[in-house]
Structure 1
Amino acid sequence: MKLFITGIGTEIGKTVCSAILVQYFKADYWKPIQSGDLHYTDSKKIETWTDTPACHPETYRLQLAASPHQSAREENIQINLDDFQLPETQNSLIVEGAGGLMVPLSDHTFMIDLIENLNIPTALVVRNYLGCINHTLLSIMALQQKNIKLEYLILNGNFPEDTERVLCSFIEKETKIIRIPEISPDKENITATAKQLTITKL
């Protein structure tokens, strides 16, 4: 099982959700691009929070906490899709993107192009806020246009019934739903949540 964790925006809990799935599937973890926070990377968080068999090294480690295309330009680096290769492993693999689908990697390529290039299904992390329906439906449409399989819709936190109903009515029947409660990210909570995780279909 290989899965790319993306989201409808930034700061919506992709790393926490990735950690729970790493723990649930007993999976390896790979963050292709780390942009900023090199003192405490998402890979380090996963190592701290989970019992992952392996965290594979990032393809790009960029200093500036900004969009990857801007961070790369600060260091005179050009991010090239051909530089990304899925790590070889016998385990399941959770791959975590940076930001949402249309985060630029260069002036002409985006995170969604990396997902398409890696050719693995996605899990879309959604968090409730004013505008999340619009951002979610646009993200699902973008995946559909690229024929990228949406394996899971991850509802991270609490949602009003009306919001959840619209979100779930827009996905394909094959897409499964994962509901993750609000938690403080640490190893105890990640482990407990992974043990109680339920995956449902429409």
Structure 2
Amino acid sequence: MKSIIVTGTDTGIGKTVLAAGLVGALGARYWKPVQSGLEDETDSEAIARLVPNALVHPEAYRLITPASPHWAARIDGVEIDPARLSLPQGDGPLVVEGAGGALVPLSENRLYADQFAAWGLPVVVAARTQLGTINHSLMTIEALRARGCAIAGVAFVGETGEAEAESERIICAMGKVRRLGRLPRLDPLTPASLATAMEAFDLEGLV
């Protein structure tokens, strides 16, 4: 595998931080095809901050409104064309980050999961460790597989205890997926603290 996709079970769960951790640990390039919302730090800017030496490819679309890409594009008066979403070429592995969850719409008739299937790359699912993660994670896994997407594994984000550990176990068992590791909430979140946290991940053979 030379490239992977990172998607989430929801928005705001730490997917970009996980993507940064994977970029650093794998020595990979990074690409965010569609960025919705430009007022705050973009995901590409966050990657550049957390993995200073990483090659960050420019986004295909930079949309002003922090909303679902299909709506943000409509507000900006543009239409997201799948032909512009060809994977960027370069040396070494590539980490591609989606937006929100796997079923976020890119347009009126195309979901991110459809685009993942078109790319034909294995998907890493970022799942929060909090209550509700079993349902969200298993539905995400089913939705991806229904479109023929291979799942490289699940990475959990957040703190853990006995209940959270059981959620992680049953998700991987029932979803028949590989557990890649768990990324705790890091304070402070720095390149060094992220790199250290990623040392606990099982990434052998991922790319």
TM-score normalised by length of structure 2: 0.90
Give, in whole Å, the separation in 2 of the partners of 1:77 and 1:15: 25
1:137 to 1:196, Cα distance in 2 relative to 1, 3 A: closer
1:27 maps to 28
Give, in whole Å, the separation in 1 of the partners of 2:125 and 2:53: 21
Give, in whole Å, the separation in 2 of the partners of 1:50 and 1:167: 30
2:122 maps to 121
Give, in whole Å, the separation in 1 of the partners of 2:194 and 2:129: 20
1:95 maps to 96
Q: Does 1:177 align with 2:180?
A: yes
* Residue type of the alignment partner of 1:198: D
2:153 maps to 152
Give, in whole Å, the separation in 2 of the partners of 1:196 and 1:179: 8
Q: Does 1:189 align with 2:193?
A: yes
By how many angstroms is 1:39 displaced? 4.8
Kept in 1, the 8 Å contact 2:181–2:200? The answer is no
2:141 maps to 140
Kept in 1, the 8 Å contact 2:6–2:126? The answer is yes
Give, in whole Å, the separation in 1 of the partners of 2:53 and 2:28: 6
Give, in whole Å, the separation in 1 of the partners of 2:4 and 2:39: 24
> Deviations for 1:56-90, whole angstroms, at most 9, x for unmatched residues?
00000000001101100001111121211111111
Kept in 1, the 8 Å contact 2:38–2:62? The answer is no
* Residue type of the alignment partner of 2:11: T
TM-score normalised by length of structure 1: 0.92
Kept in 2, the 8 Å contact 1:179–1:198? The answer is no
Kept in 2, the 8 Å contact 1:23–1:51? The answer is no
> Deviations for 1:141-196, whole angstroms, at most 9, x for unmatched residues?
011111101002101123423212211112336x3422222213221211222344
Kept in 1, the 8 Å contact 2:157–2:185? The answer is yes
1:38 to 1:96, Cα distance in 2 relative to 1, 3 A: farther
* Residue type of the alignment partner of 2:61: Y
By how many angstroms is 1:118 displaced? 1.3
SS of 1:105's equivalent in the other structure is strand
* Residue type of the alignment partner of 2:48: E
SS of 1:170's equivalent in the other structure is helix
SS of 2:198's equivalent in the other structure is helix
Kept in 2, the 8 Å contact 1:4–1:97? The answer is yes
1:179 to 1:199, Cα distance in 2 relative to 1, 3 A: farther
Count of residues in Structure 1 that have an aligned counterpart in Structure 2: 199
Query: Which stretch has the larger CA shift, 151-160 or 72-81?
Result: 151-160
Unmatched 5+ residue regions in structure 1?
none
SS of 2:70's equivalent in the other structure is helix
Give, in whole Å, the separation in 2 of the partners of 1:164 and 1:120: 24
By how many angstroms is 1:129 displaced? 2.5
By how many angstroms is 1:110 displaced? 0.8
- Aligned positions of 1:99-114 closer than 5 A: 99-114=100-115
Give, in whole Å, the separation in 1 of the partners of 2:149 and 2:171: 18
SS of 2:175's equivalent in the other structure is coil
Q: Does 1:54 align with 2:55?
A: yes
Give, in whole Å, the separation in 2 of the partners of 1:176 and 1:40: 30
